[in-house]
Amino acid sequence: MINDKINEKLGRIIIASNYLPISISKEKLNGDSEISFDNNGNSDSLTEDIITQIKISHEPNPVESAVNSLLNKGEIQDFLWVGWPRCDVEEQEIPTFRNAIKNYSEQFHPLFLEEKDVNNYYKGYCKNCLWPLLHYQLNFVKLDPVWWESYKAVNEKFANEIVSQWKVGDFIWIHDYHLMLLPLLLRERLPPDSLIGYFFHVPFPSYELFRILPNRKELLQGVLGCNLIGFQSFEYLRHFRSSCARLLDLEVHPKGLAIFDEKSSHFIKLQVSPIGVDYSDLINTLNLPIVTQRVQKLKEIFQGKKIIIARDRLDQIEGVPRKMEIIEQMFSEHPELVGKLIFIQIYEPTVEEEDETEEQKQLHRTVNEMVGRINGRFGKLNFNPIEYINRKVGLDELTALYRMADIALITPIRDGMNLASHEYVVCQKDSYGVLILSEFTGAARCLGGGIIVNPFSKNEIMSAIMEALSMKIEDRKLKHQINYNYVMANTSSFWAKRILVDLNEINQQKEKDHKFVPRVSFKEIKQAYKSSRKKKIFLLDYDGTLTPLVRHPKLAFPSKELLNTLNKISEDPLNQVYVISGRDRLSLENWLGELPIGMSCEHGSFLRLPRSNPEDKWIDNVKSCESSWKENVLSVMQDFEDRTPGSFIEHKQVNLTWHYRNADQDFGEFQSRELIAQLQSVANKYPLDILVGKKAIEVKPFGINKGEIVKLILSQNLDTDFIICIGDDKTDEDMFKVLSNCDSSYSIKVTSDSKEPTKAKFTIEDVEQVLDLLSQLSE
């Protein structure tokens, strides 16, 4: 149980979101007055000859409700909320407003934005670019380079503000698409073990949509500065993971993503954590006398009528015009409902009227005209089929409306969760109202008792309404109980606790796994190398170690720097250099054949000794192995090559390799798993090994690997007191294993993640550092 996992109080939580959960208004009055604050944080501020009266009111927010609940239960030490207070403030007024907010709550830390930031960052990039894209509204996506620069600048401001407030032991919890760059900015400024969580309240679109953004990679890289990223549903998680794999070429794991680059080296856990509501506020409000009276009055007004309620924001994604069309068509096709069915549409503005965009104003006009037309067509003197509420609705009025409604019609075109559905369920405890829910909401994955509909299908929604109107009480009870049980168990505090527990477990796991594979010390290796008086052995992988990984094997040419370095090292007669690779013999001969070095190709199938003459034969380690398996394996691989665009087969002298680095990321991974399954049946008939490399599946004779070649080399060079072995993938682990008990050896894994499991004794960042180390040893 999650409750049992928090056995000690967690540290302070720093919450970062676009805005604080408060509403601020100010009025300018003529007169003289001193600055003062009342108990609610309201103040009067003197600016020249004008008094500015600041009024602060609370804005309900499930995140705040959740952390307050945890704080009251003693499960977190405290929280600090960093966000924009959503008010226009002159520079000289900032100190006064800051004090007013602090006096209202010391847990709210305001970050003030200039008007240009509000216009470009918020109204521009956030609301006119990211918001429509994330909600699949491509027709409304607008792009402006100025907006992007402002988005970056505001994320920088948030980073600087949070860093100034951060203390050791703090958890940072970032919310939503406004701050996608913030995690990486914090990761670069704070200690490496800082814990950062992120939650997407909105949907995350498919890769095909997200990729249209010019700054798509920067946004993904920004979010990936986190330790943990939460999503409302698995669908959104899957889309995010796919975008990261395809756009950033990241390694996908069942539980998350692995980051290996110069900016960030860590594992990011991805999890599905659907948000909930704090039902106690709703229940307490329902029990207020004023609400009870309001419910009774509404029942009297609408006596004998069925009530459908919908609550939406002034936004295209809510699909309100389509909903109006459906209601009009229902009354037209079912005239018996006229006078017996009331549709209450709450259409809450998201901004002040003067700040509405042209699209919002047009949407407003469209809905107003439709309401007027429908009421004019089907209404009577004492009856309007649509009751239209176009304003913000207080909690007492909202709970009363939810309580007396027979049906909730929640059919947005796309929504991250839509907590109106949860609120309706709570308010319907003993009334058993029916919930009709769009399949494109996160709530549709959670509330199994709802009637799930396609919001684009008018007939489907009308059928759902008719089903709800005629549903038997037993069925309504059953469906409602399913929803009610879920909402009661999955509250906002449960949601927050689950995320913070996982962050805490990451912290505890870090302490438990404190055994990092240390970075190699150039100084130590150089000292050991210079102190050696016997033979010195160099065992070097090729791809990903001496040369960067490339999209096609034939493009992995050695650099001049590499060739010169290997040649200089080989000039010392006590040095023996071996390149031990999965490459075919011809490629190694063409690239490295002029050097006086040893080479092993095809994972140990063949070996050429150092300082051999070009005409000397390679040692054949597989001559006793049968090759009849190749025809069967090739047939299977060719089938997958044909069915996987971008993949190809590499024919080596002995081994066969199927490469899918150039294939579609997700499809390639899927096909690789299928290929391995089919190859296993072949391997059961022949003595074969199946190697899983980086975007490649290789089949080779059993018992032939790089470790066996290392054993052979060491058996021929017993008078050795310095061994260095460097490699980057799973096939090199066989070499590291052989050297694990050899005191004079330095086995080194090429990886940016010092925690990546390996049998190597040390790690090194990348190919560039490998070449730097070898260059220093060659001096």
How far does Cα 94 stand from its chain's mean position? 35
Which pLDDT belongs to residue 46? 41
Residue 132 CB coordination number (10 Å): 20
Cross-strand bridge partners of residue 110: 83
Which pLDDT belongs to residue 626? 73
CATH architecture of structural domain 629-701: 2-Layer Sandwich (3.30)
Q: Where in the chain is the domain with CATH 3.30.70?
A: 629-701
CATH of domain 2-22+58-272: 3.40.50.2000
Number of C-alpha atoms within 13 angstroms, CB side, residue 628? 4
Band of pLDDT at residue 334, cut at 50, 70 and 90: very high
- What's the order of all strands across the beta sheet hosting 656-659? 648-651, 656-659, 696-701, 688-693
Which pLDDT belongs to residue 511? 46
How would you classify the pairing of strands 535-540 and 36-37?
Answer: unpaired
Token code pair at residue 630: 């190749």
CA distance 357 to 668: 44
| Cβ proximity of 81 and 21 under 8 Å | yes
- Tokens 């109107």 locate to 469
Fold of 279-490: Rossmann fold (3.40.50)
Band of pLDDT at residue 702, cut at 50, 70 and 90: confident
Band of pLDDT at residue 779, cut at 50, 70 and 90: confident
Band of pLDDT at residue 31, cut at 50, 70 and 90: very low
Best CA proximity match to 725, nearest among 693, 759, 689? 759
Distances (CA, A) of 48 to 16, 28, 44: 34, 11, 13
Q: Where in the chain is the domain with CATH 3.40.50.1000?
A: 522-621+704-778
Band of pLDDT at residue 539, cut at 50, 70 and 90: very high
| Cβ proximity of 278 and 492 under 8 Å | yes
Token code pair at residue 664: 């579609």
Catalytic status, residue 541? yes
| Cβ proximity of 55 and 42 under 8 Å | yes
Most confident of 31-35, 246-250, 485-489: 485-489
Best CA proximity match to 56, nearest among 105, 122, 94? 105
**Average pLDDT value over all residues in the chain:** 88
Best CA proximity match to 527, nearest among 763, 721, 710, 720? 721
Best CA proximity match to 351, nearest among 122, 667, 173? 122
Q: Which CATH superfamily is domain 522-621+704-778 in?
A: HAD superfamily/HAD-like (3.40.50.1000)
Q: What percent of the chain has pLDDT over 90?
A: 59
Which pLDDT belongs to residue 740? 87
Backbone CA torsion sign across 176, 180, 186, 191 = positive
Q: Is the pLDDT of residue 48 over 60?
A: no
Which pLDDT belongs to residue 703? 79
pLDDT tens-digit series, residues 273-299 = 999 999 998 999 999 999 999 999 999
Pick the residue with more confidence: 682 or 364?
A: 364
pTM, 2 dp? 0.73
Residue 356 CB coordination number (10 Å): 16
Pick the residue with more confidence: 44 or 600?
A: 600
Which pLDDT belongs to residue 45? 46
Backbone CA torsion sign across 384, 389, 394, 395 = positive
Residue 4 CB coordination number (10 Å): 7
pLDDT tens-digit series, residues 350-383 = 777 667 777 888 888 999 999 999 999 999 888 8
CA distance 170 to 151: 26
Distances (CA, A) of 350 to 85, 312, 314, 353, 442: 15, 10, 6, 9, 21
Q: Where in the chain is the domain with CATH 3.40.50.2000?
A: 2-22+58-272, 279-490
CA distance 247 to 517: 29
CA distance 604 to 622: 9
Choice among 117, 541, 729, 734 that is catalytic? 541
| Cβ proximity of 698 and 630 under 8 Å | no
Q: Is the pLDDT of residue 32 over 80?
A: no
363 residue type, one letter: L
CA distance 400 to 324: 23
Q: Is the pLDDT of residue 2 over 90?
A: no
